[in-house]
Structure 1
Amino acid sequence: MKDFINKLYKNHSLIYKGLLFIATTFLIVYLFPKGGKFKYDFEKGKPWQSENLYAPFDFAIIKMDAEIASEKDELVKKSILYFNLDNTIEAKVKASYKNQFNNVFSDSISRGAYRKLYNAGEVIISNLYLFGILSENYNFPDEKAIVILDGRVKKQDGFFSNLIKPDAVSKVIDNVLNKYELMHYKTEFTSLFFDLIEPNLTFNKSFTDKVLQEEIGKIAYARGSIEKETLIVSKGEVIDGEKYQVLKSLQSEYESQVWNESNYIWVLFAYTLLVALALLMLLLFLRKYRMRVFENNTKVTFIFFNVSLVIFITTLVVNYDSKYIYVVPICILPLVFKAFFDARLGLFAHVLTVLLIGFIVPNSYEYMFLQIIAGIVTILTVSELYKRANLFISVGQITLIYIIAYFAFFVIHEGSVKTIKWETFMWFILSGLATLFVQPLIYAYEKLFGLVSDVSLLELSDTNSKLLKELSDKAPGTFHHSLNVANLAEASANEIGANAMLVRVGALYHDIGKMENPTYFTENQSTGINPHDELSSRESARIITDHVINGIEIARKNNLPDRVIDFIRTHHGTSIVYYFYMQEKKDFKEVDKLDFSYPGPKPFSKETAILMMCDSIEAASKSLKDPTSTKIDAFVESIINKQIEEGQFLNANITFKEIESIKKVLKYKLANIYHLRIEYPE
Structure 2
Amino acid sequence: MSDLVNKLYRNHSLIYKGLLFIFSTFLIVYLFPKTGKFKYNFERGKPWQSENLYAPFNFAIKKSNEEIAAEKKTISDHSTLFFAVDSAIENEVNDLFESQFKIAFSDSIPKLKRNILFKAGERIINELYALGVLSENYNFPENKTVVILEDRIEKHTAKFADLINQEEVSSMINRVLIEEKLSDYKTEFTSLFFDLIQPNLTYDKSFTEKVLNEDLNKIAYTRGSIEKETLIISKGEIVEGNKYQVLESLKSEYESQVWNASNYNWILFAYTLLVSLALLMLLLFLRKYRLEVFENNTKVTFIFFNIFLMVFITTLVVNYSSEYIYVVPICILPLIFKAFFDARLGLFAHVITVLLLGSIVPNSYEYMFLQIIAGIVTILTVSELYKRANLFISVGQITLIYIIAYFAFFVIHEGSVETLKWETFIWFILCGLATLFVQPLIYIYEKLFGLVSDVSLLELSDTNSKLLKELSNKAPGTFHHSLNVANLAESCANEVGANAMLIRVGALYHDIGKMKNPTYFIENQSTGINPHDELHSKESARIIIEHVILGIEIAKKYNLPDRVIDFIRTHHGTSMVYYFYIKEKELKPEVDRSEFMYPGPKPFSKETAILMMCDSVEAASKSLKDPTSTKIDTFVESIISKQIDEGQFLNANITFKEIQSIKKVLKHKLANIYHLRIEYPE
Letter in 1 for 2:252: S
Letter in 1 for 2:182: L
3-state SS of 1:447 partner: helix
8 Å Cα contact 1:133-1:199 kept in structure 2: yes
Aligned to 1:440: 440
- More deviation in 612-621 or 90-99? 90-99
Post-superposition offset of 1:70: 0.9
Post-superposition offset of 1:458: 1.5
CA RMSD for the aligned pairs?
2.2
3-state SS of 1:462 partner: coil
Aligned to 1:186: 186
Aligned to 1:630: 630
Deviations 1:635-676 (A, max 9, x none): 323332333343332322223333232222212211110114
8 Å Cα contact 2:481-2:618 kept in structure 1: yes
8 Å Cα contact 2:35-2:264 kept in structure 1: no
Aligned to 1:104: 104
Deviations 1:392-417 (A, max 9, x none): 11111111111111111111111111
2-structure distance, mates of 1:96, 1:477: 108
8 Å Cα contact 2:374-2:398 kept in structure 1: yes
Aligned to 1:293: 293
Distance 1:328 1:522, change over 3 A: same
Letter in 1 for 2:425: F
Aligned to 2:347: 347
Aligned to 1:473: 473
1-structure distance, mates of 2:262, 2:213: 35
1-structure distance, mates of 2:619, 2:298: 37
Distance 1:641 1:266, change over 3 A: same
3-state SS of 2:87 partner: coil
Aligned to 1:91: 91
The aligned runs of 1:39-438 (5 Å cut-off) are 39-257=39-257, 259-438=259-438
Aligned to 2:615: 615
2-structure distance, mates of 1:363, 1:23: 28
Letter in 2 for 1:183: S
Aligned to 1:598: 598
Letter in 1 for 2:52: N
3-state SS of 1:147 partner: strand
Deviations 1:490-521 (A, max 9, x none): 11112222211110010011112223333333
2-structure distance, mates of 1:594, 1:237: 84
3-state SS of 2:198 partner: coil
- More deviation in 86-95 or 346-355? 86-95
Letter in 2 for 1:122: E
Aligned to 1:484: 484
Q: TM-score, normalised by structure 2?
A: 0.95
Aligned to 1:557: 557
Deviations 1:332-364 (A, max 9, x none): 111111111111111111111122122222222
- More deviation in 155-164 or 281-290? 281-290
1-structure distance, mates of 2:660, 2:421: 56
Q: TM-score, normalised by structure 1?
A: 0.95
8 Å Cα contact 1:28-1:275 kept in structure 2: yes
Aligned to 1:17: 17
2-structure distance, mates of 1:347, 1:382: 12
Letter in 2 for 1:439: Q
Post-superposition offset of 1:224: 1.1
Deviations 1:424-474 (A, max 9, x none): 211111121121121111112212221111121112112222222232233
1-structure distance, mates of 2:642, 2:352: 44
Aligned length in residues: 678
8 Å Cα contact 2:482-2:510 kept in structure 1: yes
Deviations 1:256-312 (A, max 9, x none): 236444422221222222222222222222222222222222222222221222222
2-structure distance, mates of 1:294, 1:329: 26
8 Å Cα contact 1:259-1:267 kept in structure 2: no
Deviations 1:49-101 (A, max 9, x none): 22221111111111111111111111110110011111222222223323333
1-structure distance, mates of 2:536, 2:92: 124
Distance 1:262 1:120, change over 3 A: farther
Q: Percent identity?
A: 78
Post-superposition offset of 1:29: 1.7
3-state SS of 1:84 partner: strand
3-state SS of 2:665 partner: helix
Q: Which runs of 5+ in 1 are unaligned?
A: none
Deviations 1:227-275 (A, max 9, x none): 1112222222221132222111111111123644442222122222222
Deviations 1:169-211 (A, max 9, x none): 1122122222222222211221222222222211110000000
Post-superposition offset of 1:476: 2.3
8 Å Cα contact 1:36-1:258 kept in structure 2: no
Post-superposition offset of 1:483: 0.8
Deviations 1:14-38 (A, max 9, x none): 2222222222222222222332211
2-structure distance, mates of 1:644, 1:148: 102
2-structure distance, mates of 1:13, 1:38: 41
3-state SS of 1:623 partner: coil
3-state SS of 1:19 partner: helix
Aligned to 2:543: 543
Aligned to 1:573: 573
3-state SS of 2:155 partner: strand
2-structure distance, mates of 1:529, 1:9: 53
3-state SS of 2:134 partner: coil
Deviations 1:552-604 (A, max 9, x none): 22222222110001111121223333444445555666656544433222222
Letter in 2 for 1:187: T
1-structure distance, mates of 2:592, 2:453: 42
Distance 1:232 1:642, change over 3 A: farther
1-structure distance, mates of 2:404, 2:129: 65
- More deviation in 36-45 or 545-554? 545-554
8 Å Cα contact 2:629-2:676 kept in structure 1: no
2-structure distance, mates of 1:304, 1:371: 19
Distance 1:656 1:52, change over 3 A: farther
Letter in 2 for 1:672: N
Post-superposition offset of 1:139: 0.9
Aligned to 1:663: 663
Deviations 1:590-638 (A, max 9, x none): 6565444332222222211211121121112222222222332333233
3-state SS of 2:257 partner: helix
- More deviation in 14-23 or 614-623? 14-23
2-structure distance, mates of 1:667, 1:458: 27
- More deviation in 542-551 or 47-56? 542-551
2-structure distance, mates of 1:59, 1:249: 8
Post-superposition offset of 1:217: 0.6
Distance 1:230 1:610, change over 3 A: same
Distance 1:283 1:676, change over 3 A: closer
Post-superposition offset of 1:113: 3.3
8 Å Cα contact 2:628-2:676 kept in structure 1: no
2-structure distance, mates of 1:565, 1:492: 20
2-structure distance, mates of 1:642, 1:246: 79
8 Å Cα contact 2:474-2:518 kept in structure 1: yes
8 Å Cα contact 2:571-2:608 kept in structure 1: yes
